[in-house]
Homo-oligomer: A and B are copies of this chain.
């Protein structure tokens, strides 16, 4: 193989490859990134067998061929090179990388040993083209609510599914649930995408890319972001029927400015460390104030009152971390809070006529 390509494109492809390549596996070649000439392009790929990233970079091809070399060191080496043309050439399974006065030779592994890259039948798959801004927001609004508990694998992914003609994304860990309505759809979809895959897609999403293509087949999903494709297995299993848990009455009890509630929750959380994050949220119709209270018996106590539009009196205890996390992904200037009793789920939504985002937090017994 003998090719030349730009340092900028190579750096981006290698950054993704070096995050996915893994030295934990028994297969040393998974530690490596694959370079392979296909037509007038260089394919740069890495896989951990669950997840593969493939970038197709335009290059000047002098001689076709293929090789694999350790992903982390070539990524760091190329990332430190000045911008300009980088020449790659192989001699057996060693790769020499040259740019101006900078030369490195890396010992590699024959490309024959690299696993097959995943294939998706584009014609039979379900296909969405999403605006990058909506996609990023929807992922950010759901991914943090997913579980880390590997004994319940279905909850460790984001649930993409169709319902009443819309595509919804959902994340839950059993203590809170985030649901985001994304686009209209005529397809029937039910798929659970690992959070690690979605994190990788977010990292690959630069500001210059406006759209992301998403393709689902029976067992895989592919995200196409610019010249990079990230393909991953779906999580096996049946997602819980979460809709039966959604409260039917979501009349707002309080409407409050998001930034003020963030500040107040951060303050309340300081005093809630001893009590596993428990804070008490109260609404008072007469004064039109929302208050957050927390007590740390050793340290002291805290009470904050902020202006709000209050519909009824009430009080509920909840985990301050869960509240802070949802507040950080509500982009709206104000939000509504609803609950129907001390032990009823708490619903947080951006203020909007027909909110596309719903977040539910289970209350704590206070």
Contact = CB atoms under 8 A, between A and B. Distances in A.
B76 A270 contact: yes
B263 A80 contact: yes
B306 A106 contact: no
Interface in A142-184: none
Nearest to A103: B303
B263 A82 contact: yes
A267 B302 contact: no
A83 to B, nearest CB: 12
A196 to B, nearest CB: 26
B299 A107 contact: yes
Contacts of A82: 263
B103 A304 contact: yes
A304 B102 CA distance: 4
A300 B80 CA distance: 17
A107 B300 contact: yes
Interface in A71-100: 73, 76-77, 80-82, 94
A334 interface: no
Nearest to A294: B104
Contacts of A73: 270-271, 299-300
A282 B263 CA distance: 57
A76 B266 CA distance: 9
A302 B102 CA distance: 8
Interface string A253-268: 0000000000110110
A197 B81 CA distance: 38
Q: How many copies of this chain are found per oligomer?
A: 2
A298 B104 contact: no
A355 interface: no
Contacts of A77: 267, 270, 302
A302 B271 CA distance: 54
Contact of A302 (B70, B104, B304): B104
A205 interface: no
Contacts of A107: 298-300
B305 A80 contact: no
Nearest to A101: B305
Nearest to A266: B80
Q: Which of A101, A107, A300 has the most CB of B within 10 A?
A: A300
Interface string A298-323: 11111111100000000000000000
A177 B323 CA distance: 51
A81 B289 CA distance: 18
22 contacts: A73-B270, A73-B271, A73-B299, A73-B300, A76-B270, A77-B270, A77-B302, A80-B270, A81-B267, A101-B306, A102-B304, A103-B303, A103-B304, A104-B267, A104-B271, A104-B300, A104-B301, A104-B302, A105-B302, A106-B300, A107-B299, A107-B300
Interface of A: 70, 73, 76-77, 80-82, 94, 101-107, 263-264, 266-267, 270-271, 289, 298-306
Given A101-B289, A104-B302, A107-B298, 20 more contacts: A73-B270, A73-B299, A77-B267, A80-B263, A80-B266, A80-B270, A94-B300, A101-B304, A101-B306, A102-B267, A102-B302, A102-B304, A103-B302, A103-B303, A103-B304, A104-B301, A104-B303, A105-B301, A107-B299, A107-B300
